[in-house]
Amino acid sequence: MSNTNALTLYTINMSHYSEKIRWLLDYEGIPYVEQALTPAIHTLPMLLKGGRGQTTVPLVQRGSKRVQDSPRIVDWLAQEYGPLKSLPAESLDEIIAIQRRFDAIGKGVARYLYLPGFAHKALILDIWTQFATPWESRIVRAGYPIIKPMFKLKLKINTKHVAIAEQRIDAEIKWLEARIKQGRYLVGDSLTIADITAASLLAPLACPEEHPIYGTSEFREKMAGVAKLWADSPALQWVRDIYAAHRGQIWQVMPNAA
Question: Read out DSSP for 26-61?
Answer: HHHT---EEEEPPTTTTHHHHHHHH-SS---S-EEE
Residues in the chain: 258
Same domain for 228 and 130: yes
Same domain for 38 and 133: no
Q: Output the tens digit of pLDDT for each of the chain's 258 residues.
A: 444 589 999 999 999 999 999 999 999 999 999 999 999 999 999 999 999 999 999 999 999 999 999 999 999 999 999 999 999 999 999 999 999 999 999 999 999 999 999 999 999 999 999 999 999 999 999 999 999 999 999 999 999 999 999 999 999 999 999 999 999 999 999 999 999 999 999 999 999 999 999 999 999 999 999 999 999 999 999 999 999 999 988 998 899 986
Same domain for 207 and 101: yes
Same domain for 53 and 137: no
Q: Which phi and psi angles does 10 have, rounded to 5°?
A: -95, 130
* Number of structural domains the chain divides into: 2
Answer whether 192's CB lies under 8 Å from 91's CB: yes
Q: What is the CATH number of the domain that holds 15?
A: 3.40.30.10
Same domain for 48 and 97: no
Same domain for 105 and 162: yes
Same domain for 103 and 51: no
Q: pTM of the entire structure?
A: 0.96
Same domain for 110 and 62: no
Whole domain around residue 67: which residue ranges? 3-86+250-257
Same domain for 96 and 156: yes
Same domain for 136 and 79: no
Same domain for 109 and 57: no
Q: Give the DSSP per-residue string, 193-246.
A: HHHHHHHHHHHHHH--TTSTTTTSHHHHHHTGGGGGGGTT-HHHHHHHHHHHHH
Same domain for 60 and 129: no
